A and B are shown apart, each in its own frame.
Chain A
């Protein structure tokens, strides 16, 4: 399983890529593998406010469903419009084409609470 060093991670298995005061969010390779074949994604609308730790969307496979939690607070700047029609890219490219949303940060300090790749891998090992 792949956990790129340049990303940050949450305990709920989202990844975050920081680009200035914008962050890109998706779910990790571990999360997509645990869910199985993704069949549906529900994302918020552009302009919506999200709060760190609160659910902003849903991702579903045939037999499982999971909330997706906002790693940081802010405003939805962009969503991945391709996902509703091709949710399988979350399985094939969780860190690339499977990205979900871009958030304009309201509190950059929240980024300090996220894990790096090593800490996330340790978290997975502990949880399972």
Chain B
């Protein structure tokens, strides 16, 4: 069944093209104190071009814009490495409770015990899930958690007088944030070419006394468990280094294995992936970081700590410092807390099992019609390629045609080690029925590539816009609205 249809799509101008002088969509109470203003020399003229709209204008505008989007609530969103699971609605209600949403971050600790309790319990639950004894929930996103972790690694080495450990090993399957983060923490990046799963020999060949850490993703971006991880960690430790794990793919391991037990020293979580908080069209996320005990003093802080029956912010003593003005993306923490409390230990393990089952089911249904570059048993996601598609059809064409069928495309052209990669992560919240419909669409598209390739190359045709000119956008950047002359 083709889910996508060409229904009524409403046009909508830019905010600035709607404006009419004198409108506003906001009301203030009458001023109950004497009027006062700042000296003229400090004040601006009116803000040129700023919109002037009524409430109904604004509501229609953004409602129409929303209909041009596709979210998890619209349909299947198999974006590899992004864990686009369903976002429970009660979590949205929870973070908006006035007693949570309206707490000012400078509230004295003794008057914010509910918020501190929640943060403390979230730290503890994440510690138990990952096997890391200490967790800081301050970082705002995955890359921010990576930065926290890599700064802590640097500080740990410095505290031991290892100033010459300035290099970080990163497999070429890694997310781009890994090398960018290492650089921001002042490290030089040494890429390791890997084929599928990292081997002990590859790591050993690069693991000199100038290397501060190895950054891995486990399961890796091919969806494969790093089977040699324990031996690799032992080797890195033996040679004086530490192992950082990108926790983007933790959804494959809940209740099955704990990164902290494998010898990994530092890992960040993505609450917006594994713990069901919404992606928000690009954020906000939350990227807590967990570490083994002797790295705990270097975590970004302060952390929520417990004193008997009460909680407060404190330390840690050798902290690398603050990464945000306040305590982190608390509203996202509330959602993740609600999710973990709703799922419990059994529920989380069940989620992982169903996520892996779903990925393997999609793999079984598409294998043979799409090229599968790695035959190893994969976990929560599976990577195909466009190698066997006929008529010069490529991954991009499959992705765009999927949109016409009513699906968000998988992650494409990543990981870079697979040419024309199609990376599918179904997550546990999709039913067999949904997966079957999606797989039928993928198979139909493979057929179309042979029979009528123009269907792929012209796609999408049912969307608000067709394929967009990205080259033109980059050559002559127009990054804001300007009043026509």
Contacts and interface: CB of A to CB of B under 8 A. Distances in A.
13 contacts: A37-B471, A39-B471, A39-B474, A39-B475, A40-B474, A40-B475, A60-B474, A61-B471, A62-B470, A62-B471, A62-B474, A87-B475, A88-B475
Contacts of A39: 471, 474-475
B179 to A, nearest CB: 14
Contacts of B470: 62
Given A40-B474, A62-B470, A87-B475, 10 more contacts: A37-B471, A39-B471, A39-B474, A39-B475, A40-B475, A60-B474, A61-B471, A62-B471, A62-B474, A88-B475
Contacts of A40: 474-475
A35 to B, nearest CB: 11
A40 B471 CA distance: 10
Contacts of B474: 39-40, 60, 62
A37 B470 CA distance: 10
A91 to B, nearest CB: 10
Interface of A: 37, 39-40, 60-62, 87-88
A37 B473 CA distance: 12
A43 to B, nearest CB: 16
Nearest to B471: A37
Nearest to A60: B474
Contacts of B471: 37, 39, 61-62
A112 to B, nearest CB: 31
Nearest to A91: B471
A97 B109 CA distance: 67
A37 B475 CA distance: 10
Most interface-central of A37, A40, A60 (chain B CB within 10 A) = A37
Interface string B215-232: 000000000000000000
A61 B474 CA distance: 8
A18 B53 CA distance: 64
B334 to A, nearest CB: 37
A40 to B, nearest CB: 7
A89 to B, nearest CB: 12
Interface in B449-476: 470-471, 474-475
Nearest to B413: A63
Contacts of A88: 475
Interface in B223-243: none
A46 to B, nearest CB: 24
